Chain A
Amino acid sequence: MYVAVKGGQQAIANAHKLSAEERRGNPDVPEIGVDQIDQQLSIAVDRVMTEGSLYDRQLAALAIKQARGDMIEAIFLVRASRTTLPRFGYSVPMETSDMAIRRRISATFKDIPGGQVLGPTFDYQHRLIDPALAEGGAPEPAETAPADVDAQSPKVLGLLGQEGLMEAAGDGDDDAEIGDLTRDPLDFPADRDLRLQNLVRGDEGFILSLGYSTQRGYARGHAFAGEIRMGEVAVSFVPEELGFEIEIGEVALTECEMVTQFKGSSKVPPQFTRGYGLAFGQCERKAMSMALVDRALRAGELGEDRVAPAQDEEFVMSHSDSVEATGFVEHLKLPHYVDFQAELELVRRMRAEAEGKQAGTGEAAE
């Protein structure tokens, strides 16, 4: 007569099997390969690597396959795998000015040394669904750039800096230790290094909306896309036992530097200020949004009033991480009957008391 309402080992095992079956879908349809995801859903892979904080295309592609295309679930899988990896050390700071450029644009100058390179972008495409794509087939070969653009493509914001109109990038202290919120617990107020790390790992949708809110008057400051560049950058590492720098590979990056006019404050003269965004692969939307939010979060440092959510580092940093957010929202599926029982008892008691009071006043009136 007592029905076992509490869950069972068997139920869990069965649910896992069913989920695996659903992932595979109709067995008559060929199974998707990790290489196909890597090559043909490459921007999804980029996002999983960026928010998963791990540069490994094959692992990210496998995570997407395992997660059935659920991006946050895939990011979660990558993060959980990353956790188990021992830390050898930190790379030498990367030189994004030495990027092998695939895309580079500036919205602040019509022409820039090195030129504007559109590269592989959705921009200026008419978003019309292409029925021919359903059939597949090889795309038309693309033209190749006539010249090597890499060597003479200095940072656009650096050009403004020469006139003294642009603040310096960072505080210039190269020896300052960089924080790492995957190694040390977050403490408020947080410095910009930690804020940037948090934003890179943060959910693209959340950062996008926050960035958008700054454009709509919540922490208003009109930003310009000073430069967006995408391409490959070499990663170097100094192994302790060698004591000198060796190049260990390259990663694809999208970097965005936003420029915002700043009227000056008691601390800082009028000038242009920076917002910085960086992401693995081709995550341009993320890099741009991140740059907007980074600039908004610098309110304290620049002596601006904090009036909007995007300027509030505790609010932004505590809620940006999709893995944290999804875990806690979805934990509401877990049983809570012990607490609910306590609430039931309380509400019953309060109702009984309220009814008692009502009955009491009713009698008095009669």
Chain B
Amino acid sequence: MTATGPLPGYNFAYLNEQTKRMIRRALLKAVAIPGYQVPFASREMPMPYGWGTGGMQVTASILMPDDTLKVIDQGADDTTNAVSIRNFFAKTAAVETTTATAQASVIQTRHRIPEEPLREDQILVYQVPIPEPLRFLEPRETETRKMHALSEYGLMHVKLYEDIARYGHIATTYAYPVEVDGRYVMDPSPTPKFDNPKMDDCAALQLFGAGREKRIYAIPPYTKVISLDFDDYPFEVQTWEEACGLCGARDSYLDEVILDDRGGRLFCCSDTDFCEKRRAMGYRGAMSGEPQEAAE
């Protein structure tokens, strides 16, 4: 195999073509069986396991030279690991990169789904640490695979029920399990449950890569994704009393930033692109240091 990538000695987007073909086959199977975890022969990447190697392998396998790539971690483009992964693909694939959600054709993410609705011509690639939603209820892979095969999800409902019995509500705030296309229970990766509704009927293709655990799964566009709940305890997302201190948004996921040792706090959008776009449109929050929009 000749090295044809922009980085001397390496193929386009680092992985060799045999490996990409193997991963693409797993991706096709994953798309054909929404929410099913497809085992794949995950490779070592030059980044550590647990740092997004699954997402990177998926991205490397689907990336085309004319793609525009966005990488986020915790919703932000400027977190260290997002910077590192973006640099990696800029170097090995020489694709265009962007921080603007709307301009990206491929978005690799850790822990968040962008606030801006995604389109049909976009692919969202999730980095997944533990792909098995049942893992913390049953540590054995042989058992959990059997449970999936038999749609035996009682254990998960018992867990959610026990939460309600003990705390009065479901005490799972991220990696909140979903049912995909009426069949497989799936881990949405450790995104906050705030993001779960965005997965449902999403126009974009959603791909999930777990490198260390060697699993790929997918949600095809416009697939029904339901967060598990009970009739009398319906699924709810997080809400904040505060608005974003920078852009004033009330409908986005907020990070809490500690400003000083006297209890000073700033709540601001975790999705930095969303926040910047709003500020560019003239929206201001209470702590932006500028006069607030009357409308906000």
Contact = CB atoms under 8 A, between A and B. Distances in A.
A135 interface: no
A1 interface: yes
A159 interface: no
Nearest to B43: A83
Interface string B53-83: 1000000000000000000011110111101
Contacts of B136: none
A186 interface: yes
Given A327-B50, A338-B112, A338-B174, A184 B45 contact: no
A84 B14 contact: yes
Interface residues of A, number: 54
A43 B84 CA distance: 33
B58 to A, nearest CB: 15
Interface in B275-292: 287, 289
Contacts of B149: none
Nearest to B212: A324
Interface in A320-338: 323-324, 326-331, 334-338
A330 B50 contact: yes
Nearest to A326: B48
A342 B192 contact: yes
Q: Which residue, of B74, B140, B168, has the highest number of chain A Cβ atoms within 10 A?
A: B74
Contacts of A187: 39
Main secondary structure of the interface of B (DSSP, over half): loop
A314 B192 contact: no
Interface stretch (B115-123, B180-188, B227-235, B254-262): B254-262
A350 B43 CA distance: 42
Contacts of B142: 188-189, 314
Interface residues of B, number: 69
Interface stretch (A74-82, A212-220, A290-298): A74-82
Contact of A335 (B79, B169, B245): B79
Interface string A90-105: 0000000000000000
A183 interface: yes
B16 A86 contact: yes
Contact of B73 (A1, A79, A335): A335
A107 to B, nearest CB: 37
Contacts of B259: 1, 3
A9 B85 CA distance: 11
B215 to A, nearest CB: 8
B103 interface: no
Contact of A327 (B10, B51, B238): B51
B173 A346 contact: yes
Contact of A342 (B1, B43, B169, B238): B238
A334 B51 contact: yes
A86 B76 CA distance: 36
Contacts of A82: 44
B84 A79 contact: no
Contacts of A184: 41
Contacts of B214: 185-186
A92 B153 CA distance: 47
B129 A331 contact: yes
Interface string A180-197: 011111111100000000
Nearest to B44: A79
Interface string A128-140: 0000000000000
A244 interface: no
A48 to B, nearest CB: 14
Contacts of A87: 18
Interface in A136-180: none
Contacts of B215: 185
B161 interface: no
Nearest to A78: B44
A343 B78 CA distance: 23
A338 B192 contact: yes
Given A86-B1, A327-B49, A343 B173 contact: yes
Given A185-B214, A337-B74, A341-B192, A1 B174 contact: no
Given A331-B48, A345-B173, A6 B78 contact: yes
Interface in A19-74: none
B135 to A, nearest CB: 11
Contacts of B110: 334
A76 to B, nearest CB: 7
A84 B173 contact: no
Given A314-B140, A334-B81, A2 B287 contact: yes
A243 interface: no
29 contacts: A3-B257, A6-B80, A8-B83, A11-B80, A76-B48, A79-B44, A82-B44, A83-B45, A85-B16, A86-B16, A185-B39, A323-B44, A326-B48, A327-B51, A329-B50, A331-B48, A331-B51, A334-B80, A334-B81, A334-B110, A335-B74, A335-B81, A338-B74, A338-B255, A339-B111, A342-B192, A346-B171, A349-B169, A353-B167
